[in-house]
Structure 1
């Protein structure tokens, strides 16, 4: 799935979903929505956040939220995890799949606002202002860049809308992102919507799950793992959607693995030749599906192309989607990868 530069940039700055404690069921989400409605009338406002150097003050819980695309599901998934789906008037985020049962369907059911997207595959300025939002969420500051045809944060403020850029998105560089940033996103949304107690429960459950898995694989040999998007091109070489830095390395470390291409680039993604990939020992493969109905087929294709890999000889791979990037379900990815790398520990 070749991407234009805007989508590739946004993709390099986003991604991932829910904790096991959230469950992802539609019934749980409906109950949480009622809780969030009640929370809106509770004291605790105004709330002020310093976001990318800008002060954003909330006098009450937002009720008309617009979620920009950015090739992410982190923001919409976080809102769903907190039971805030009834606050969304337009959502452009979708992966088409999720490790969390019911999550993909829940995202698909959200309103889109009937927007005709611009050349950057996102909501143009006039359409954004026409939605009358009181909060706009963007993966990175790219989503508020006037040069890209988007409404700026200042323009949104003039019509009474706050704006929020997700953690590590201020400079469009998620290379330093860790699981802690997923927790920060949860906490920030908890503060904004006055559901901080629910955010803390989700964070505590995720931390507990990750700690339990990490303890099982502690001291074991760390296999070298290749993490990449399936059927996606973002650069000039054969393999341009291979993760080198960012949250995936934190997830791999907790799961008892290491990134085979960690030193291949200083940025989030490495743009690699086929020769470079062939010359690297890959013990296991993590293929991330992004609106790809069959990422497993892509893994098998790579094994045929690189039969010399230990991963190919042992058929060691796992397909994931939203849990591998920013969002509330990183513990899912940690456990899935740990079970692949160290099955004897489970």
Structure 2
């Protein structure tokens, strides 16, 4: 019987680095979510939303360019396990939910967020509403709308990560640091792929949350590449979306051999152990191979959304699948 594997922390290099950026700087233009966006000056009071987004800034050594970050109470575990704990400690935590009032109160000159990672039409907090207030934005590429309703994702998840690192490198004039990180991450992923080369590829179900219906990841969310590069196949990799809701009958039909649990407190079952207990007790799943064989692996939320923890997550999961 395999025990539940919990990865409490993912190690990364370059933790807490600080890279100076010019106060003014020449205007730069990047492509963000399919649009050319120009930034007239180097931002110096950035507000970020969510742990993965915040850690992109930290990984690039840009903590000193931030006015603060917004992170919900359910993500405190991400902060505690973060390779960038020192940066979280020195940058103000502004609120648990982002809003125009939070942004204006911080005097933000850039908001870095994403659709369903802060931006929301229903809450009236969007790039357009911030533009009306004179506040520029940068949108997380994993969460870009793909032109089909509100579905998200316009490129493979790791390419989204590399794109954002390179764009942020341009915006903040730290291109060398961005290039070095991308090269490091590409090598880390390639090395992880070697661990599982030639081995059978198990079918993997990413379980985020949900009792009546599971919330999982399609092909445009980070778990697609976390699973795929680690030597597995995402059972919902055919869905042209990032994070989405499916039905339990679809999980049963696709017969996953491993369950990857998102350590994220959302819904009725909030801890990894509670999520596992629910899956094991839910009668329709009883004969699903992953449940029957008790094959569970846990990664923190910040490793399963687009973030600089993705390569280490791939390595950790690859070691589990190769074992």
TM-score by length of 1: 0.74
- Change in Cα spacing, 1:257 to 1:85, as seen in structure 2 (3 Å) is same
Which residue matches 1:149?
Answer: 124
Which residue matches 2:5?
Answer: none
Which residue matches 2:206?
Answer: 227
Q: Which moved more, 1:131-140 or 1:220-229?
A: 131-140
Q: Secondary structure at the match of 2:260?
A: strand
Select which of 68, 75, 92 maps to 2:53: 75
Distance 1:289 1:65 in 2: 27
Give runs of aligned pairs for residues 58-207 of structure 1, distance below 5 A: 58-59=40-41, 61-68=42-49, 72-93=50-71, 95-98=75-78, 101-103=82-84, 106-107=87-88, 110-113=91-94, 121-123=97-99, 125-140=100-115, 148-150=123-125, 152-153=127-128, 155-156=130-131, 159=134, 161-171=135-145, 173-175=151-153, 176-207=155-186
The question of 1:257 aligning with 2:237 is answered: no
Distance 1:156 1:209 in 2: 38
For structure 2, the 5+ residue unaligned runs are 1-8
Deviations 1:299-319 (A, max 9, x none): 243134334232234322111
Deviations 1:39-74 (A, max 9, x none): 326x96232223342532233x32111113xxx422
How many corresponding residue pairs? 299
For structure 1, the 5+ residue unaligned runs are 1-16
TM-score by length of 2: 0.79
Stretches (4+) displaced over 6 A: none
Select which of 276, 281, 299 maps to 2:276: 299
Deviations 1:164-204 (A, max 9, x none): 11214342533444201111111111111111211122111
Distance 1:251 1:179 in 2: 9
- Mapped contact 1:97–1:104 kept (Cα < 8 A): no
Select which of 311, 324, 329 maps to 2:304: 324
Distance 2:10 2:165 in 1: 10
Q: Secondary structure at the match of 2:29?
A: strand
- Change in Cα spacing, 1:272 to 1:205, as seen in structure 2 (3 Å) is same
Shift of 1:290: 1.9
Select which of 220, 230, 245 maps to 2:219: 245
Which residue matches 2:37?
Answer: 55
Q: Secondary structure at the match of 1:91?
A: strand
- Mapped contact 2:192–2:314 kept (Cα < 8 A): yes
Shift of 1:96: 2.2
Which residue matches 1:7?
Answer: none
* Greater relative contact order (Cα < 8 A, sep 6+): 1
Q: Secondary structure at the match of 2:93?
A: coil
